Structure 1
């Protein structure tokens, strides 16, 4: 049997109510099972970030990038691949539209 570790988290009442509703519906047997399954799915989703570009975009959108590039930093980019990833992630490769989406502005 796999070793398990107790992980305590605090969540809002609304989340607990939703968890309890899913348990009542028989989707999960317990809150622990629901939280563990949610964490597994979250980790799986992050592992699916196939390219570095997608990972960087996601981190940027989540506000988790730790360092901005400086003027002397050199970055090599495959333009065709980057445009493909922009279209896949944002639905467009037009820079102005991408920036507006990243900033949360309407198109």
Structure 2
């Protein structure tokens, strides 16, 4: 089999043997794909963002914000409210006080 002829042949017309021969003779090593880790932080903005994050009403989102439980996840400058979503979910899941 001539490699140049196989390279010109469309893939859908190749037999399995031709494809394997072309793959082995190309000399290219298999590229191992490393898993992509998304280290970027995810933010939600305002009470509407907090509402969608916790899947609750705006009144409940306002109560959650005012309770102080997720204060470490909130950055507020004037009227702009920026909330680190992952940290807020983690802080809201912790129990502080209450019944045991």
TM over 0.5: no
- Pick the structure with more strand per residue: 2
Q: When the two structures are superposed, what TM-score results if normalisation uses the length of structure 2? A: 0.23
Structure of greater relative contact order (alpha carbons < 8 Å, 6+ residues apart): 2
